[in-house]
Amino acid sequence: MDRLLTGLQPSGALTIGNYAGGISQVVNYQKDYETFLFVPDMHAITVPQDPEALHKNIINAIALYIACGVDPNLPDMHIYIQSENPYHANLSWIFECHTPHGDLTRMHQFKAKSALHESFTEGLVTYPVLMAADILLYDPKYVPTGIDQKQHVELARNLAIRFNNRYGELFRLPEPLIPTVGAKIRDLQNPEQKMSKSTDNPKASVFLSDTEKQIRKKIMSAVTDSEAVIKFDEANKPGVSNLLTIYSVFADTTVEDAVAKFEGGGYGDLKKATADAVVSKVIPFQDKYNEVINSGIIDDILNEGRDYSIKIAQAKYEQVRRAVGFGRI
Ligand code: TYM
């Protein structure tokens, strides 16, 4: 059975963008693949974290995956915490020693994130290398993500090619799995940018933990344009195109059908229908989330995921260790 692997950082509440690019894809494909779904807590500390909050966010993220429809009872579903498996960091070091510094400082996300801070840690630079280790340890066929992570998956693929050429066949080449709708949900107030967990503008992002009232208010005040024409044109009408995208993701339809439904109408109608669609999915997730958090099942799920992921990752790491010449013959 081919494998699918992805992770979502536990740095605060998850957004509807994380749902569209990450979680919903896992839910859609979980029956067809052996799935490795993990919480990259080691990635989270590339920017400062409060330790207590990080612990809580990790467990909250797991509960949310399940609340959104990830089925932990599927025999081939493995859910784990990155830092509970030591092989991610071990392989990451080997990869760091095979990655030109310039390849990392050229990454889009590094440029964007480092520009936000006067100083930043080396972890922010080497972050995609750790991500490559997360992926390549498990030989997945696909890595479901939004468009913002595509370049990182490509780095993993290039590392795999470099290693296979130099040391013999070690890694399967992973492919990013980018959704056809919702690969980049945009910021509601500044639709030139992607919607992000870490935003200063309280109206910019819809979180999966928002109340119905907050969701409606944020979507009704989304920035559009003054043309008063509903069409999908991301370059010239990013705000309206974003609403059409969000509607399509949450109403389970295509952008073409959404355009057909709303064209000729006003922006108010599109916003209202988009808010209805988001509310009708997200509020039931929250009920389920409370059930999961209080059920006591999370530890068992994480223990299984930790043990299984260590088994797979250790075998791969041993091959790599030998290939690069570590230790005794
Ligand atoms: P993270 O935590 O920033 O995002 C988690 C997932 O959500 C997607 N995403 C979006 N999709 C559509 N629209 C948006 N506005 C939006 N914002 C985020 C992301 O593309 C991602 O799929 N480095 C990764 C975490 C990671 C990982 C991995 C992922 C660590 N190791 C290995 C896959 C494989 C990250 O920071 O994602």
Instruction: Return the percentage of the chain with pLDDT > 90, whole number.
Output: 92
Select from 18, 25, 92 the residue to mutate for testing ligand 1; criterion: most ligand atoms less than 8 Å from CB: 18
Nearest to 245 by CA among 259, 261, 235, 264: 259
pLDDT tens digits, 149-193: 999 999 999 999 999 999 999 999 999 999 999 999 999 999 999
| Domain residue extents for the chain | 3-183+296-324, 212-290
pLDDT score of 12 more than 80: no
> Residue 113 catalytic?
yes
* Residue with CA at minimum distance from ligand 1 atom 36: 9
* Domain 212-290: homologous superfamily in CATH: Tyrosyl-Transfer RNA Synthetase (1.10.240.10)
For residues 322 and 313, what is the distance between their CA atoms, to the nearest angstrom? 14
Residues at CB less than 6 angstroms from ligand 1: 5-9, 17-18, 20-22, 40, 43, 131, 134-135, 143, 145-146, 148-149, 152, 182-185, 194-195
Specify the pLDDT at position 69. Answer: 98
**141 is an active site residue:** no
Where helices occur in the chain by DSSP H, the ranges are 16-18, 24-29, 41-44, 51-67, 87-96, 101-105, 108-115, 122-136, 150-167, 212-220, 238-250, 255-262, 267-295, 298-324
Pocket test for ligand 1, best of 148, 178, 196 (most atoms within 8 A of CB): 148
Instruction: Output the six-digit token pair for 171.
Output: 């890694």
Residue whose CA lies nearest to ligand 1 atom number 37: 8
- Write the pLDDT tens digit of every residue in 48-97: 999 999 999 999 999 999 999 999 999 999 999 999 999 999 999 999 99
Q: Which residues is 81 bridged to in the sheet?
A: 39
Render pLDDT for 266-293 as a digit per residue (tens, 0 to 9): 999 999 999 999 999 999 999 999 999 9
Rounded to whole angstroms, the Cα distance separating 299 from 140 reads 25
Task: Determine which residue's CA is closest to atom 34 belonging to ligand 1.
Answer: 6
Please tell me the distance between residue 15's alpha carbon and the centre of ligand 1 in angstroms.
Answer: 11
Residue 6 CA to ligand 1 center (angstroms) comes to 8
- Please, which residues have CB within 8 angstroms of residue 57's CB and are 6 or more apart in sequence? 10, 11, 12, 44
How close is the Cα of 145 to the center of ligand 1, in Å? 6
Give the residue whose CA is nearest to atom 4 of ligand 1: 8
CATH superfamily of 3-183+296-324: HUPs (3.40.50.620)
Alpha-carbon distances of 327 from 89, 167, 198, rounded to whole Å? 17, 16, 42
Distance, in Å, from the CA atom of 219 to the CA atom of 235, rounded to the nearest integer, reads 20
In angstroms, what is the span from residue 139 Cα to ligand 1's centroid? 19
- What is the 187 CA–ligand 1 centroid distance (Å)? 15
Which pLDDT band holds residue 200 (cuts at 50, 70, 90)?
confident
Active site residue 111: no
Cα dihedral: 241, 245, 251, 255 (round 10): 80
Digit-coded pLDDT (tens) for 25-44 = 999 999 999 999 999 999 99
What is the predicted pLDDT for the residue at 123? 94
What number is the average pLDDT over the span 11-32? 95
Interval 93-146: pLDDT, tens: 999 999 999 999 999 989 888 888 888 899 999 999 999 999 999 999 999 999
Q: What is the pTM of this model?
A: 0.96
pLDDT at residue 267 in the model: 97
- Per-residue confidence (pLDDT) for residue 115, from 0 to 100: 86
pLDDT for the residue 198 = 83
Catalytic-labelled residue, pool 31, 56, 111, 113: 113
The whole-number pLDDT of residue 117 equals 80
Structural tokens at position 166: 């130099």
Annotated catalytic residue, options 141, 150, 197, 203: 197
**In Å, how far are 36, 107, 125 from 104, measured between CA atoms?**
25, 5, 6
Instruction: Identify the pLDDT of residue 299.
Output: 97
Beta carbons within 8 Å of 81's beta carbon, 6+ residues apart: 38, 39, 41, 58, 302, 305, 306
Cα(131) to ligand 1 centroid in Å equals: 11
Q: 144 - beta bridge partners?
A: 177
And the tokens for 251?
């109403």
What gap in Å lies between CA 40 and CA 308, rounded to an integer?
17
- Residue 55, CA distances (Å) to 44, 58, 59, 143, 294 in order: 11, 5, 7, 25, 16
Closest CA to 147 of 113, 120, 121, 109: 109
Edge-to-edge strand list for the sheet holding 142-144: 77-81, 34-39, 3-7, 142-144, 175-177
Angle (CA) 65 239 107, round 5° = 65
pLDDT at 13 over 90: no
